[in-house]
Structure 1
């Protein structure tokens, strides 16, 4: 399943020409190299399409914005719009696996909302399905979508994904950590508590007990960063355990068995697990744009889709060890992909796009890493002098990120840049190291210097800045108000980054960008009180009064 447009910029409106072409022309669009690979089908809509599922080569459904539900019974040669009864965004669709049974005559006269467990086994399950969407919406059909009936979810949170292991047991997940389970086909949905308030985008179960939801995010104070996790249950959702942490935000996830699964997200981050979701590791996708949909036929053959403008399709035949970008031209975002077998599949996306796969696609792979360099200025820096560290990168296919490290610590990441710069200021002499790492849009990385660091040495020179702080009156009484005033002199040109801080009783009392700097008059309690002032720029004290220690006054 995907993430809603309010969370990421996944669903973008293409230019008017593209919208008109995709939505209204009936001539199929052939891949760029004129071989039959991905062929565009006529959807009959310009709405963004978000999810799809097929039960065989002929029959499938697509859902999307504006309450859109489309169905085909001839492999997508024709798509028919079904009546959802709503106009809100529909985020996911799921039909249970084929499991034919006998039709009992007496039940044919019951209304559609009654045709549910325990009688589900008497019907053809390939026509029993669910759709979820905005505002806690759950729709169910028992007749292949001829009739869609609302079920009560008892939540207003947007539901982003739905998964059933049979016609009885299923889960929905959504915003604000929403996860609900049913064991009777949706007649009753029961809330489960995860202890997380994140927007859940994807849910996948391999049986009634074992499944996964994602993503959840937690702040790590040691690294000052947020990390994402996948949660796993082995007892049907009673308890959930987090995976290892990673930085990629997950939009879609799938498992092919109890051990092997894939998840996709930002910057075409394709993650794989081989131990049932306990540990996830990053695979090289050769693309640095967001992947939002993934589908695997088995442990080896899979596809991922995404992009912004244009979209892209990646495929692998070796369990993700190698991902190949297909050369077919997709004008805008692709949101989801589904395959019946190795030669039959579909992808859907923005502007009503529906594409069908018809044979192997040719590939194009970037094998040249970017060219990078990093320097500092001035060459021989002094204390209290701003030192700029500047990185530059270039690549034929474009730069995705530049990461700058200083004194063995990550400092910043610049996205889609050709240059990246930051600055430092020191009040003491010393030697400092730095290097950069740049990644191109194909995921290839270069570092400067390749295996070591560059450095510069700061020599000490007095700042030439002074500050003097005093209280008034000099001998205050308990009935009198006290004001503290700090005055800068010398080369103390104050600005938004060079400021005066005044502290009273170890608490910050005032911040000024001009001199003198005074605190508001205030009455203090009987006894001793302390104060001092500093001129600070970029966390470096340029001057302090007193130079060490504190000043003070006694209230009598």
Structure 2
């Protein structure tokens, strides 16, 4: 028993960070995944090389294969049954039965389509190499050309309603339409860096990300694009904003960055992978997924903003939760844990009314001393309580957030 205990300790401290912010899921495929889409916290699809399509109906606990014929660059669903995929050779496929069957649609082009986006069951756009844009008003039964006004590769599409949309592309290209694509107009971005992804929260406010960590933001529908500092030099391949304050972007070497103030400040999150991450999708404010090379899928259920790491491999004499420091705090604070035996550890935050606010950690940990960081950026000022439970032991501390 003692030998097992020390083996667990060794394994624990050989891997120094227990990331409860982002954790790995098993996709069941070794092939690169380029895009991911969730319609709710449980049901989603990931697509990629060699016709790879993976689906989950339980939040990624299990991913199972669906049949695909060719590589896919992008996937988009409007509900739990109806979705489209797009890829090389002008490929567009559609399902109306949750992916059990996919049928090819005629896009009318042979160039690579890198993005697909639908606003409802009828109206959608696909875009890709050579400035190609295809538009459908009948769910993809027919696809018609739209004039982009550029020959640059187009990487990402976003529409806010049926008529107002943006497409981002190579060499700093962002184009905009207010007519559902009848006319596309180039916008000024003051850069020649590629924009791989674009995301809006309403008709005015949006972000574009790309080459070497570039980020641009607009608050006037793209009339002006203002530079923001990402604090990373990694390529950023996908961006999504949950609201006008909270956003995420992912990119090369496992990079995920987040902002809680509309992009005034961006900070890197701890991820358990070093793979390139090409696709990002949050199904709710706290639950998100990222996909990338070699079939990599990672997930967060708490916005990815907390992690736990060991301080010492010495077995403490008793269980305990240290008072957070600093306290009061704004918005980040650190707590200390003492664990005497391997087992399930739970850390949960409650507000002053006793309502559950966030689960910081809920997993097995070996014996040792740990520290955990809580970022309370998305919560308001007030009194909060952290309850630490391990086996029969339970302890609660009081914390004060002042903004």
For 1:56, the equivalent position in structure 2 comes to 40
For 1:94, the equivalent position in structure 2 comes to 76
Indicate the SS of the match to 1:70.
Answer: strand
Larger radius of gyration: 1
Contact 1:192 1:237 in 2 (8 A): yes
1:261 matches 2:215: no
For 1:490, the equivalent position in structure 2 comes to none
Structure 1: 5+ residue stretches without partners: 1-29, 99-125, 218-227, 364-556
Indicate the SS of the match to 1:130.
Answer: strand
Call closer, same or farther: CA 1:240–1:216 in 2, change over 3 Å. farther
How large is the Cα RMSD of the aligned pairs?
1.6
For 1:295, the equivalent position in structure 2 comes to 240
For 1:188, the equivalent position in structure 2 comes to 142
**Structure 1 CA distance, aligned partners of 2:236 and 2:42?**
27
- State TM-score, norm by structure 2: 0.70
1:235 matches 2:185: no
Contact 2:152 2:173 in 1 (8 A): no
Contact 1:242 1:278 in 2 (8 A): no
Cα distance per residue 1:175-194 (max 9 Å; x no partner): 11110100000111010122
Q: Any residues of structure 2 matched to 1:16-165 within 5 Å, and which?
A: 33-84=17-68, 86=69, 88-96=70-78, 98=79, 126-165=80-119
| 1:336 positional shift | 1.3
Of structures 1 and 2, the one scoring higher in RCO (CA 8 A, sep 6+) is 2
1:361 matches 2:315: no
**Structure 2 CA distance, aligned partners of 1:32 and 1:262?**
34
1:274 matches 2:219: yes
Indicate the SS of the match to 1:267.
Answer: helix
Q: 1:326 aligns with which of 265, 269, 293?
A: 269
Contact 2:89 2:112 in 1 (8 A): yes
Cα distance per residue 1:143-199 (max 9 Å; x no partner): 000000000011100000000000000000011111010000011101012231111
Contact 1:196 1:216 in 2 (8 A): no
Call closer, same or farther: CA 1:32–1:285 in 2, change over 3 Å. farther
1:337 matches 2:280: yes
**Structure 1 CA distance, aligned partners of 2:294 and 2:306?**
25
**Structure 1 CA distance, aligned partners of 2:90 and 2:273?**
32
Cα distance per residue 1:490-537 (max 9 Å; x no partner): xxxxxxxxxxxxxxxxxxxxxxxxxxxxxxxxxxxxxxxxxxxxxxxx
- State TM-score, norm by structure 1: 0.51
Runs of 4+ in structure 1 displaced over 6 angstroms?
none
**Structure 2 CA distance, aligned partners of 1:35 and 1:249?**
31
| 1:318 positional shift | 0.7
| Count of aligned positions | 292
**Structure 2 CA distance, aligned partners of 1:348 and 1:177?**
26
For 2:375, the equivalent position in structure 1 comes to none
Contact 1:31 1:38 in 2 (8 A): no
Structure 2: 5+ residue stretches without partners: 1-13, 308-403
For 2:358, the equivalent position in structure 1 comes to none
Contact 1:32 1:329 in 2 (8 A): no
**Structure 1 CA distance, aligned partners of 2:97 and 2:28?**
23
Indicate the SS of the match to 2:282.
Answer: strand
**Structure 1 CA distance, aligned partners of 2:170 and 2:287?**
34
Contact 1:210 1:235 in 2 (8 A): yes
Contact 1:297 1:340 in 2 (8 A): no
**Structure 1 CA distance, aligned partners of 2:87 and 2:173?**
23
Call closer, same or farther: CA 1:32–1:144 in 2, change over 3 Å. farther
| 1:31 positional shift | 8.6
